[in-house]
Structure 1
Amino acid sequence: MAAAVVTKTAWKLQEITAHSSNVSALVLGKNSGRLLATGGDDCRVNIWSVNKPNCIMSLTGHTTPVESVKINTNEEMIVAGSQSGSIRIWDLEAAKILRTLMGHKANICSLDFHPYGGFVASGSMDTNVKLWDVRRKGCVFRYKGHTQAVRCLRFSPDGKWLASSADDHTVKLWDLAAGKIMCEFTEHTGPVNVVEFHPNEYLLASGSSDRTIRFWDLEKFQVVSCIKEEAIPVRCVLFNPDGCCLYAGSHDSLRVYGWEPERCFDVVMVNWGKVADLSICNNQLIGVSFTQSIVSSFVVDLNRVTKCGSSLHGLVRDDKPFVPPAPMGSSLRRIYDRPSTTCSRPQRVKHNSESERRSPSSEDDREEKESTAEIQNPEDYKEIFQPKNSITRTPPYKNEPFPAPPEDVPPEPTLAKETSRSSQAADSQTPLPSQETPDSSS
């Protein structure tokens, strides 16, 4: 009987030349895990389908390099901010520019779409955070408080809060309806590169250049725990969809963390270099990175990654079955309320500057006319976006898991390998690097 083929835990999926010049921004669609947007020094935003070689759509209009991009929840819109401070929003289904938003005085460093309402948040090197009404084309509110560039913005799952992190070493939490700051976290000792809300409970994670990940309780407004074993600055983090653990993308590895107490469940070696974004689909984690004009995508099979000690079930210790503790954090805090309709409108206040209260000008209209969405791959475009003006809509596009390639080296005997790994895990909480290391040439 032929032996089963052993496949890799992590592997390189694809490498593309994404722009004619350096790539300056990169983001994955979080809904499908298959949509990829890249921004370049060539002032374009290019849309790709993960693991397909050709650009689906190229968005023009920016006149300076694109510094930040974000795809909305249902993957129908994309927002991009430039070095000059301008923001443009495109409707991907209609393949056209939707809005041009002006008001920031420096590079756009961070963007996020509100999960329910028609709002976009932007953070800039000018230290301001702004909330924009996409439909009315206006700045609803300006949040002042950071003293350096705002690197990451995230709306809470219920759409009531906005978290911001900055080079000034702080994380701030803003109440959108009240239009004021709720809390400021100051424990980081370096620029805070990323923040991420837990999908269910009042918990926030932040990753910093101080090489730590901190978890914050959003009821008591205090630190829950701090992961200090990162070897290099934390670039991106993502909670598992069920909230059981946090994935952290570091140089050439994916780390899996718990926070109550803080511990590392697993380390998977991945040759992705400076990973820029993570997404999860079909229990596979997709990671993307860029170097100069090249964008690379990688896959990690989460079925083979240790989360919450689940792989230790069934082991025997001292002649008794060893049952690990239940995943912590599952019911310790309040759960987000999900509104059945769009959220209440954030409070509108008096604008502080002439540029924020001006009505849309002919200059903005001219800029929108000069912005285009060039469909470069009609077949992929129709398959993914299924434009509403099509005569017939095909069945919803369904993603299948990416097939794992076979392992390059003959593995150790499975029984010995699992026994060894399990005994190490039972005796220690040190992270266990996964045996499968992706081949950078694959």
Structure 2
Amino acid sequence: MTAVPQTKRAWKLQEFVAHGGNVNCLAIGQKSGRVMVTGGEDRKVNLWTAGKPNCIMSLAGHTTAVESVRFSNSDEMVVAGSMSGALKIWDLVEAKILRTLTGHKSSVRSLDFHPYGDYTASGSLDSTVKLWDIRRKGCIYTYKGHTNPVNTLRFSPDGKWIATGGEDGLIKIWDLTAGKLLTDLRLHTAGINVIEFHPNEMLLASGSSDKTVKFWDLDTFQLICTTEHDANPVRCIKFDPEGACLYTGVKDFLKVYGWEPTQCYDSVPIAWGEVADIGITSSQLIGASFSKTNVSTFVIDLKRLHPHGGIPHEEGGQQGQPAQQGPPLSSSHGRRSFLTERPPTQSSRQASVPKEDVEEPNSASPDQEDRESVADIRDPKDYQEIFNPRHRLEVFPEPVPVKQPAQPSVRAGRPPTSSRIQQARQKRELPPTAKPSKPVDVPQPKSEPKEAPREVERAPREVDRQPVAQPPVNQRQTSPAGVDPNDFLPTAEQGHQIMSSVLTSRTKNLQTIRVMWTSGNIKTAIDSAISMNDKSVIVDVLNVLNARSHAEVACESCKIILKNFGPLIKANLTAPPSYGVDLSREERYRKCTACYKQLMDIRQVVEKKCTLPGSAGEMFRQLQIMLATLE
């Protein structure tokens, strides 16, 4: 593979066939930015890893085409809405269906998960918004107010509001706890395609078919500013994780905006067509679009975009002009922040909803629909890496900051990215071009300074990192030959860490095998156990398979035979002889005699085993009693 030029800012990652029918919807994972879910006309929901062409898991069970999909905040659950108005919620870690929810009268157009409660919300073609309790399998509240389909909706970061955008051009802010409308935002002149809350500030951004992005102050519910009219409708938007800027996806362009005042920091041409969703993984932005049965993914290097770095290119900016070079970041101007920390007085599995507004879950779907829903793991290796129950999607943990001498600030205002995040991002970048199944890191500028090694204390969860031996506190004693015997003996702490790491790894592997086994993929589970190349895992699997000994299985089989056929055998052997020729009776008598002889031979063996101690002897004694009934 040829190296990507240092000046290249965006490229196509891959294109692949995602479904047997046309693809209708697509979403990128919010936490990792590396996983993707698609829904199609074939009524399936498929999961993918960015940069790899193989499907990780296929979720089947919908009876109509899938129209919308959405990951949870942790990327561990997926909700999918269908043309019939039904929702299915899947647990990706356990590879199983959680809930099937019905209640909408038409196609589901938009979805979102509550930031920390067991709730999800859906917007439909029937112009209603429903709030669902995942645990109770029912609708809690129905929000009515839009006159056209609800194209997009989002929970606020603190979980107290729902913002909805409709084809009627209205943005509505609903109070979740009070169950009422707070305000309408009415300045868009066409349908709302996407809305996003700022990760920290009381700020909302909205993208519309009127080809503008508007920024709203949620303290006053007033418009802050709006972008110039673009050449095409705004399809997707994403705030930078630091809240520094807004990434906007339009046809064949990615644009970077700031607010207060409005300015376009940068504009990157990229042939992704009508982009469906964008996500951020480390220092790269991943975009995805679909056409018919195909899905295409694209990568943009954020380090080469303003305001994060690089030089504005001639192709950027509005109407082909160079990107504007204003202040490096937008400032909050004293705007309040969301209180995203959950109140300690409430359960972590429950959010407050007024009792008078709760609807009974009478629209819950029958359990039959859940039983017919199947999660088929197509790529066990990728599934183990991404949806492992132990580390979930924390395969790229962010480095822990290290205390360093304070240095003078090199620029005023809020930094768009920190060196800590930039260093973490370098470890997670995606391949630029061909061979998608074998990602290659994007070349990084050699001029970037390297940070000093970091000393990090971690719990023994990461099994891929061997514990580092710590020198003893006291002075080491050496022999006259200069050799310290302690060098060959592990300390108590080190031995504990090693054992914890081994057991943690073993548990993770067994849980992965269990998920595959319980989902019906027994052969895949056995193949995965063998491919792990861990003898302890193989022994554990064999022990489970041989948990019941051959003697126990044989005794249970004899008990079943005696219980069901013992009276019949005895009756045929003790019955008085018949007069004349009765061929059927003679045949029964012959077979019962053969069975009786075999059971008596077994009885002789059982009598010898009755003296065994414990449960084994008790098992044989019970069988002996049942055999005595044949006499």
TM-score by length of 2: 0.59
The structure that has the greater radius of gyration is 2
2:378 maps to which residue? Answer: 376
What is the alpha-carbon distance in structure 1 between the residues aligned to residue 36 and residue 357 of structure 2? 37
Contact 1:258 1:308 (8 Å CA) reproduced: no
Which is bigger in relative contact order (C-alpha 8 A, separation at least 6)? 1
Aligned residue type for 1:177: T
SS of corresponding position for 1:244: coil
Alignment of 1:8-27 (within 5 A): 8-27=8-27
1:402 maps to which residue? Answer: 430
What is the alpha-carbon distance in structure 2 between the residues aligned to residue 335 and residue 351 of structure 1? 29
Contact 2:168 2:190 (8 Å CA) reproduced: yes
Aligned residue type for 1:370: E
Aligned residue type for 2:395: Y
SS of corresponding position for 1:229: coil
SS of corresponding position for 1:296: strand
> CA offset at residue 83 of structure 1?
0.3
1:243 maps to which residue? Answer: 243
SS of corresponding position for 2:366: helix
**Higher strand residue share:** 1
Contact 1:252 1:271 (8 Å CA) reproduced: yes
User: RMSD in angstroms over aligned alpha carbons?
Assistant: 2.3
1:358 maps to which residue? Answer: 362
> CA offset at residue 404 of structure 1?
4.3
Contact 2:387 2:393 (8 Å CA) reproduced: no
Aligned residue type for 1:334: R
Contact 2:51 2:431 (8 Å CA) reproduced: no
Instruction: Find out whether 1:74 has 2:78 as its counterpart.
Output: no
Contact 2:212 2:234 (8 Å CA) reproduced: yes
2:286 maps to which residue? Answer: 286
> CA offset at residue 308 of structure 1?
7.8
What is the alpha-carbon distance in structure 2 between the residues aligned to residue 300 and residue 145 of structure 1? 39
What is the alpha-carbon distance in structure 2 between the residues aligned to residue 98 and residue 15 of structure 1? 31
What is the alpha-carbon distance in structure 2 between the residues aligned to residue 106 and residue 40 of structure 1? 17
SS of corresponding position for 1:349: helix
Aligned residue type for 2:429: P
Alignment of 1:415-434 (within 5 A): none
1:213 maps to which residue? Answer: 213
Identity of aligned residues (%): 51
What is the alpha-carbon distance in structure 1 between the residues aligned to residue 308 and residue 219 of structure 2? 24
CA 187–308 in structure 1, closer or farther in 2 if over 3 Å, else same: farther
Q: Deviations over 1:248-279 (max 9, x none)?
A: 10111101111111111110011100100010
> CA offset at residue 330 of structure 1?
3.1
Aligned residue type for 1:101: L
> CA offset at residue 136 of structure 1?
1.1
2:497 maps to which residue? Answer: none
Alignment of 1:89-108 (within 5 A): 89-108=89-108
What is the alpha-carbon distance in structure 2 between the residues aligned to residue 267 and residue 4 of structure 1? 20
Contact 1:26 1:36 (8 Å CA) reproduced: yes
CA 289–324 in structure 1, closer or farther in 2 if over 3 Å, else same: closer
SS of corresponding position for 1:169: coil
What is the alpha-carbon distance in structure 2 between the residues aligned to residue 247 and residue 287 of structure 1? 11
Instruction: Find out whether 1:204 has 2:204 as its counterpart.
Output: yes
Q: Deviations over 1:349-404 (max 9, x none)?
A: 3467xxx54274xx61001101110111111111111135xxxx799523621244
Alignment of 1:1-80 (within 5 A): 5-80=5-80
> CA offset at residue 327 of structure 1?
2.3
> CA offset at residue 346 of structure 1?
2.3
CA 308–258 in structure 1, closer or farther in 2 if over 3 Å, else same: farther
Aligned residue type for 2:362: R
Contact 2:12 2:432 (8 Å CA) reproduced: no
Q: Deviations over 1:388-438 (max 9, x none)?
A: 5xxxx79952362124469xxxxxxxxxxxxxxxxxxxxxxxxxxxxxxxx
Contact 1:257 1:265 (8 Å CA) reproduced: yes
Contact 1:265 1:308 (8 Å CA) reproduced: no
Aligned residue type for 1:400: R
> CA offset at residue 325 of structure 1?
3.5
2:139 maps to which residue? Answer: 139
Unaligned runs of 5+ in 1: 313-322, 407-442
What is the alpha-carbon distance in structure 2 between the residues aligned to residue 347 and residue 19 of structure 1? 42
Instruction: Find out whether 1:151 has 2:158 as its counterpart.
Output: no
> CA offset at residue 329 of structure 1?
2.9
Contact 1:141 1:349 (8 Å CA) reproduced: no
> CA offset at residue 14 of structure 1?
1.0
Contact 2:61 2:373 (8 Å CA) reproduced: yes
Q: Deviations over 1:198-232 (max 9, x none)?
A: 11100101111111111110001110011123111
SS of corresponding position for 2:276: strand
SS of corresponding position for 1:275: coil
